[in-house]
Amino acid sequence: MYLVLHPAPDVPAAETWTLYWPYVASAPTLTADADIPYSVSGNARATLVPYHEGPLYYAAAQCELLRKNKEGHEWQMKRFAAVVAKYQADQAPPTGSRMRLSHNYRARLRTSVAVNPFR
């Protein structure tokens, strides 16, 4: 794959620029029994293995709608929501962690010399 920018950006010699663009990977076809979803070039994402059933529950819920089975649809969507909730809980930062400012601006103001605005 080649990416060409036209006109070329004028990047100064002392700077480094980075170009970002969204990329959507195409999923492999899961035709064999040994195929694993969420894999790239045969390398499976082991961190996503506990959530493999999520898309199955969602697809089953959509199939239940075709069968006009509202109770089955609700049951499958609850299972799907549980998988999504587990994923979101696992991705959340650990509880009890505190966020701090990188600079203590109050301490800097207390120790700095007052500026005379009439000077």
Q: What are the pLDDT digits (tens) for 4-43?
A: 888 888 888 888 888 888 877 776 777 888 777 777 777 7
- Whether 112 is in a domain gets the answer no
Number of domains in the chain: 1
- Whether 82 is in a domain gets the answer yes
Q: Is 76 exposed, middle or buried (0-12, 13-18, 19+ CB in 10 A)?
A: buried
Average confidence score pLDDT of the chain: 82
Domain of residue 82 covers: 46-90
Quote the pTM value: 0.53
Phi-psi region of 42 (alpha: psi -120 to 50; beta: other; left: phi over 0): left
